[in-house]
Amino acid sequence: MELKDVIKSPFSNYDLVVYFGCGLFVVPFVNRYVVEPLNLTWPTFKILGAVPFTAEVISALSLLMFVYIIGHILAYVSSQLIEKTIDRFLGKVSTAIIFLTIGRAGLRNGRVRKHIYHQFLKIREDRAIIASLFRGIFHAPALISYSVIGFLGIFGYYNSRLSIHTVAALARGISKLGIPRLRLSPNMPWFKPVEYYVINRVPEAVPRMYNYLVIGGLFRSLSAIFLFSMWLVLAHLACWWFTGVWRLEPLGGMTPGVAAIWEFVSLQLLFIFSLFSYIKFQRRYAEEAIFAFIFEPGSELTHKPRQPRVASV
């Protein structure tokens, strides 16, 4: 056994980047929008009567653990309010890029709008009205941006490196997995079997997939932070409107109304950037798994390509 195998960090990149990183990143936002305006104080981690050095070590370790736990909570909340919202209203990224790839070129925007409309119709079919309503309300501060994106057709997050022949090879590969009735269809959970096949059979692709997973998790948590911050800015703006007291620290001498608008717009842009980045890296994760599945040793990619027979969106 080599020394590098013995001295191995107990934390993965995901722990360091997503949990620790976002746990630390959220601190100044909480401080600005909650702690300082309400005259609160951060909790202290000190043991009375302990040796000074020991007390400092325990305090530092407790603080790191606190940040790590906050990062875990943020990751879970973002998975529920960001990831599941995207899956519900935009559809699984893996499925969306497949069934938009096999459509006619030049009609992407129309197909994306049709795909999103189809996802809205599925809410009632899946009896997910209450959960979808709750998640939709959470995204209310970003509705203006969503409307502009939908109107202008800014759907670049669906631009995929896959070709129609790649999709055909994927469909053939799925049919050979030996899973009864599993096929490439928008109404079937086809991606998970492909993903687990690659993880167990093509280990060379796993590090690349993991990198996309880490970066996607980072931007997912950042999206939640910026969206929560928008809600808090609106709350402070409403408080100022009704009480005349502006509790946030002034920005560059601006009046409360102008400062709130400037801050809200800035957070909106940061949120949209983070959300698009999250979707992009989700797409790349899916593409990496699909390419590894197709080019796995023994695959029959060289068969004559043909358009897959799949159900339309």
d(CA 26, CA 77): 13
pLDDT tens-digit series, residues 95-139: 888 877 766 555 778 888 888 888 888 898 888 899 999 999 999
The chain-wide mean pLDDT, for the chain, equals: 84
Q: Is the pLDDT of residue 50 over 70?
A: no
Q: Which residue has the higher pLDDT, 57 or 85?
A: 85
> pTM for this structure?
0.86
Instruction: Name the band, by pLDDT with cuts 50, 70 and 90, for residue 1.
Output: very low
Provide the pLDDT for residue 265.
94
Question: In terms of C-beta density within 10 A (0-12 exposed, 13-18 middle, 19 or more buried), how is residue 131 classed?
Answer: middle
Amino acid at 206: V
d(CA 186, CA 299): 23
Taken in order 66, 71, 76, 80, the sign of the CA dihedral is positive
DSSP state of 128: -
Provide the pLDDT for residue 182.
87
The CA-CA-CA angle for residues 49, 55, 57, to 5°, reads: 165
Instruction: Name the band, by pLDDT with cuts 50, 70 and 90, for residue 256.
Output: confident
- Closest Cα partner for 297 from 180, 204, 161? 204
pLDDT tens-digit series, residues 131-190: 999 999 999 999 999 999 988 888 877 788 888 888 889 999 998 888 888 888 877 889
Q: Is the pLDDT of residue 235 over 90?
A: yes
Provide the pLDDT for residue 139.
96
Provide the pLDDT for residue 161.
83
Provide the pLDDT for residue 130.
93
Q: In whole angstroms, how far apart are CA 222 and each of 213, 249, 268, 283?
A: 14, 22, 12, 18
d(CA 38, CA 32): 10
Q: In whole angstroms, how far apart are CA 23 and each of 16, 69, 74, 162, 216?
A: 10, 8, 7, 35, 16
Provide the pLDDT for residue 6.
38
